[in-house]
Structure 1
Amino acid sequence: MTRRLRPSRPVDLDFLASAPLRLVFAADVAAPPDAVHAALAKDTEGWTSWFGAVTAAVPTGTGRAITLRGGVRFEETVLADEPPRRFAYRVDATNAPGLRALLEEWELSPTPAFGTRVRWTFAADGSSALRNVLLLARPGLGVSFRSALRALDRRLAA
């Protein structure tokens, strides 16, 4: 049975600093920042080919509709699209139990080797059970992030 989407608390970019839970991951890729930004912000449907957890990604008027493996769904609004250095969005509705607010930011900066340093911040508020699950899942989220960036780098090199 598919869970219905529930509205999330609307947050703005300040939530990145004030969220009760912040998970931050970083990794380098060989692709330049403009190519990475375009993949993140412009090629919504392409996420399914490089981010293994994403099974569907559809652009909407103000953001995206995302489905993850396991059936978790998000309706998102883009809050910052600043090529080639930043892409951020918040979740407006989800079927994830216990999630009250979620904002994700992808910061991009050039590396000395002409690649990109990608920093992903996952800022969330939810029930204490959800926060505990996310903390326990932190290593797995890090593996998923690094794996996705390797796949994205291969895709951008092709």
Structure 2
Amino acid sequence: MSKYDSHLKCSFCGKSQEQVRKLIAGPGVYICDECVDLCNEILDEELFDSGTAIAQPVPRREAPADRPKAAPAIALGQIPKPREIKHYLDDHVIGQDEAKKVLSVAVYNHYKRLSYLQGIEGEAPEDLVELQKSNILLIGPTGCGKTLLAQTLAR
């Protein structure tokens, strides 16, 4: 635990981390379990007052009907090779050869990893091989093609 963790407090009630059971972190804010409970009570009251009383917790929102529930199976033979991905990027992005090469390999490995994970559902953990995930940070001046590379890959 770092020295800053003891200074964390709920952004709503101001209680410190030591004064509550659980402190949930958000982007730049924190909320304690007591404030979450209070919010739930307020929402339940409002639903009850409006005539839409519910006996069960509010269900989570589901994905839109037009989106598939599960990702389609990826066959290893359908995944374009890194050389093919780089060639596609070469057709759409000028320069940045090193970045295109690194991104091509990372995208290929990502799809290979997804394909592997789809094929191992239900297998024993000791039989599994761990495939490492690679993170890439694109750094450069404005206008050098970072966003264009990402957008082109997304297509």
TM-score between the two structures when normalised by the length of structure 2: 0.23
Higher share in strand: 1
Give the structure, 1 or 2, with the largest relative contact order (CA under 8 Å, sep 6 or more).
1
What is the TM-score of this pair, normalised by structure 1?
A: 0.23
